[in-house]
A and B are shown apart, each in its own frame.
Chain A
């Protein structure tokens, strides 16, 4: 990584070339991936990278250049080329006074993955794989993947910000395929965290394997879901993807600042049921989407976005906060130095409500119980969203009955959030990878069990079950 003096030299060079503001993001990263297929280690891939990105901002315009050269001369050439895109340049000579904040990380790594051998990591894969196979004879294929990312970052800017740190992420993913004659189904489980190897003290590999196999077996003989509008009970954990899609992306300032979000200009207005309090919190200790500071060097924090149905705030980054005349919120994130950081979610969830999951099910005469969810997508400008259900059951007369497969839920954020009428008290968060214009980043989604009235459920069975 570059020495502090070199970073200073690059910033001062940019200012002399006429930059109003420059932000530097440097990273070194090692990504390790081991994959076991049907009990044998098939892949062992290691990727190392080093790169640096320079963002020059003038007003609300930004130019971003990135390279993996280690030559300071070439870095200056990059900066000069970027600065030449602006017609107005005011040269200034400023001495940079660092206001670097060095504090102990909240996300301490207790067992650094570098201290563990490949053999120990493969042993984890074997545990998960064996557990999946042992679940039931129907399990015919199991793929387990261990992924670890160790990233060193240095973030600095011409206002004196200087932050350095290391970020560690570990994830174990299991995909189990169940077969019984002509029936075939898969199930997945993929927890992750901003942790070291102590991750496996919290998330048992055998349990991860078992869960993936359980979903595959539960869905193996499921009938196709019907296509109709009905009440949906979405279970806790990854069910929180409904909020990630229905409002999360639409509350990122990248859309709001340009009036390209359905929630633009609605601070103080009711946008959801009063049972909904939505939070984005990048400070949760060792959570998948957490860090001490965002990719602009701003300390992460807990942001209440919606409080009892009322819109309270957005997630911001430097440029869009400037555009909107508000303060930054510690949400600027990017996948790597290939991308300019923009406002993104971290760990996004709704807070606990006042009833139990059992009460919600018992209170539902007819509907869909969405136990596990896949991913989804949204158009923030219209609010139209969709997400997939990977494990579902019918609810009839307050009881969970037959398994259903192949369902998708669609809706519009502005309407669906108002249709939430019950929220349980069993909040859980789970892990996903979110893709947007600053790349793919780890994010938590979460919620307690909730009920949404009248959602369009897309299935392929036209059969109309009794209500």
Chain B
């Protein structure tokens, strides 16, 4: 049965309003280790999200099968679960929609090169990385994944939307050592066009990340000015975004719930969402409720402008939905902090003495999404007289994110993305608490 036939079957079984989201994913992946294809993965999986409005309640079932065969059982499950839902009236609105954004043309990155050519590229890359520096003890692995994700949305009004997304990522990690000290480094890059992928750039970034960590020291515990590097800043932005989720706002559990049009952050911070951008990691035409995704300014010069919603939370908050319903929850597409025009060297000169943090670890546990308190393992460099002195590790940095993001001194010009769809420039903060085990 195709999606329209499934919808018709649901209607025939007494469901008036319903929607189907069919997601088909074809995936190929390889891990190269010591000049062999150590692990190869191929897959083809189909999933149906079926939602129905029954007595003003929205119930849902997800079926991960290549075909829907038992409509009666699905209908019964939907009816049973709807009867126990107690929350305020849910919404399924087939009349509302936003303006459709112009889709970004995608290069067929999957067929641009043959699989054999790609594997040859990774094998060559492994050899070249190992030859770069004698402190590189091992290339721990080069992994590559490409996938094609096709999403079809269809509802009981027979409205149908479709989008296809092609994704390809290469990642590599190395182990570097110097006498007893060992450090690892990891680099990942999204490939939008094989013609534009540079093995040399990728390799140089990875090797530089690894080697620059050697002979690192801890620091004495205390407060330090902090220059947070772009990708580390982007990973913190990802955690911060949960405060903008419409359902948490509607429940009054987000710290932002009553702060619309108020200053919440430094006036140097502007946060935007763009669901359709060149080389966007998370480009998306429509969300899982079939609503076209929109461009948004969430924070403008430190002032909170809007939240991100599904249909239900938008109705509760009296806002306009912007196409942010994903995975039966709320999520975002491409979110970023706008860059300014200051270079990292200028920021280091301004700072004079402090820490440049390149990486933070432990965000999934060390970040409190309710209070925005965080305490994270970190690594980077110690700055003195405006220049890098030596690498630092075995330290933690801790603060409350709201308090920290109100202490922005400068915003950089080096916007960079992480693969989960968050981007940020490097940002200089006034001060942060650091814990380390150095005596001086």
Which residues of A approach B to under 8 Å, CB–CB?
A: 34, 37-38, 40-51, 60-71, 78, 81-82, 85, 118-119, 122, 140-141, 177, 184-186, 224-225, 227-229, 258-260, 262, 338, 340, 374-377, 379, 381-382, 384, 386-388, 405-408, 410, 412, 454, 456-462
Task: Chain A residues near B399: list those with CB within 8 A.
Answer: 460
Q: Does B66 lie within 8 Å of A412, measured CB to CB?
A: no
Asked whether A141 and B253 contact (CB < 8 A) given A70-B66, A122-B84, the answer is yes
- In the complex, chain A residues whose CB is within 8 Å of the CB of B364: 375, 377
Of the candidates A37, A42, A259, A408, which one forms a contact with B362 in the assembled complex, judged by CB atoms under 8 Å apart? Answer: A408
Cβ–Cβ contact A37 & B251, under 8 A: yes
Q: Which residues of A contact B45 (CB under 8 A)?
A: 51, 66-68, 338
A165 to B291 CA separation, bound complex (whole angstroms): 42
Q: Is the CB of A186 within 8 A of B368?
A: yes
Separation of A459 and B221 alpha carbons in the complex (Å): 10
Give 1 or 0 for each of B233-256: 1 = CB within 8 Å of chain A CB: 000000000000000000111010
Query: What string of 1s and 0s marks CB contacts (under 8 Å) between B25-52 and chain A?
Result: 0000000010011111111111000000
17 extra interchain contacts, Cβ-Cβ under 8 A, other than A44-B85, A45-B60, A379-B361? A43-B328, A45-B62, A46-B81, A65-B42, A66-B45, A68-B45, A81-B42, A82-B42, A118-B84, A184-B371, A229-B437, A382-B182, A384-B377, A410-B394, A456-B394, A457-B435, A459-B398
Identify which of residues 395-440 in chain B touch chain A, using a CB-to-CB cut-off of 8 Å.
395-400, 432-437
Are the CB atoms of B365 and A388 closer together than 8 Å?
Answer: yes
Q: What B residues does A61 contact at CB under 8 A?
A: 36-40
B284 to chain A, nearest CB (A): 21
What residue of chain B has the Cβ atom nearest to residue A186's Cβ? B370
Nearest 5 CB-CB pairings of A with B: A458-B396, A227-B435, A49-B64, A375-B365, A408-B375
Q: Does any Cβ of A come within 8 Å of B324's Cβ?
A: no
Question: Which residues of chain A are within 8 angstroms of B374 by Cβ–Cβ distance?
Answer: 406
Question: Are B41 and A63 in contact, with the CB atoms below 8 A?
Answer: yes
Are A44 and B251 in touch, CB under 8 angstroms? Answer: no
Point out residues on B near A: beta carbons under 8 Å: 33, 36-46, 59-67, 77, 80-82, 84-87, 138, 140, 175, 182-184, 218, 221-223, 251-253, 255, 328, 361-362, 364-366, 368, 370-371, 373-377, 393-400, 432-437
Which A residues are in CB contact (< 8 Å) with B183? 382
* CB contact between B365 and one of A47, A68, A227, A377 (< 8 Å): that residue: A377
A388 near B362: Cβ-Cβ < 8 Å: yes
A262 contacts B182, CB within 8 Å? yes
> Which residue of chain B has its CB nearest to the CB of A141?
B253
Task: Name the B residues within 8 Å of A260 (CB-CB).
Answer: 138, 140, 175
Q: Which residues of B contact A376 (CB under 8 A)?
A: 362, 365
Q: A44-B59, A45-B328, A386-B361 known; A37 and B87 CB under 8 Å?
A: yes
- Chain B residues with Cβ below 8 Å from A258 are 33, 138, 140
- Most A-side CB within 10 Å, residue of B222, B397, B433: B433
- Indicate if the CB atoms of B61 and A46 lie closer than 8 Å: yes
Are the C-beta atoms of B221 and A381 separated by less than 8 Å? Answer: no
Contact A387 B40 (CB under 8 A): no
Docked pose: A402 CA to B327 CA in angstroms: 41
Residue in contact with A259 in the complex, picked from B82, B138, B223, B370, CB distance below 8 Å: B138
Q: Which residue of B lies closest to A454 (CB)?
A: B437
- CB of B17, distance to nearest CB on chain A (Å): 17
Q: Which residues in A have their C-beta under 8 angstroms from that of B43?
A: 65-67, 338
Pair A379/B184 contact, Cβ less than 8 Å: yes
Asked whether A377 and B436 contact (CB < 8 A) given A46-B77, A460-B399, the answer is: no
B104: min CB distance to chain A, Å: 28
Distance in angstroms from A373 CB to nearest chain B CB is 9
- Select one of A177, A186, A374 contacting B366, CB under 8 A: A374
B residues in contact with A71, CB < 8 Å: 66
Please determine whether B371 and A374 come into contact, CB atoms closer than 8 angstroms: no
- B62 and A47 form a contact (CB under 8 A): yes
Residues of A within 8 A of B62 (CB): 45-48
What A residues does B65 contact at CB under 8 A?
48-50, 68, 70
Contacts of A50 in B (CB 8 A): 64-65
Contacts of B394 in A (CB 8 A): 384, 410, 412, 456
Set B184, B328, B433, B437: member contacting A461, Cβ < 8 A: B433
User: Which of chain A's residues have a CB closer than 8 A to the CB of B87?
Assistant: 37, 40-42
Give Cα distance in the complex from A230 to B218, angstroms: 15
Which residues of chain A are near B437, meaning CB under 8 Å?
Answer: 229, 454, 456
Residues of B within 8 A of A64 (CB): 39-42
Q: Are B366 and A42 in contact (CB under 8 A)?
A: no
Q: Which residues of A contact B251 (CB under 8 A)?
A: 37-38, 141
Nearest-Cβ distance from residue B316 to partner chain A, whole angstroms: 12
What are 14 residue pairs bridging A and B, where the CB atoms are less than 8 Å apart in the complex? A40-B87, A61-B36, A61-B38, A66-B45, A69-B66, A78-B42, A184-B371, A186-B368, A224-B373, A227-B398, A258-B140, A458-B366, A458-B398, A460-B432
Query: A347 CA to B220 CA in the complex, in Å?
Result: 37
Min distance, Cβ A360 to any Cβ of chain B, angstroms: 22
Residues of A within 8 A of B375 (CB): 225, 388, 406-408, 458-460
Smallest CB separation, A27 vs chain B (Å):
10
Which residues of chain A have C-beta atoms less than 8 A from B371's C-beta?
Answer: 184-186
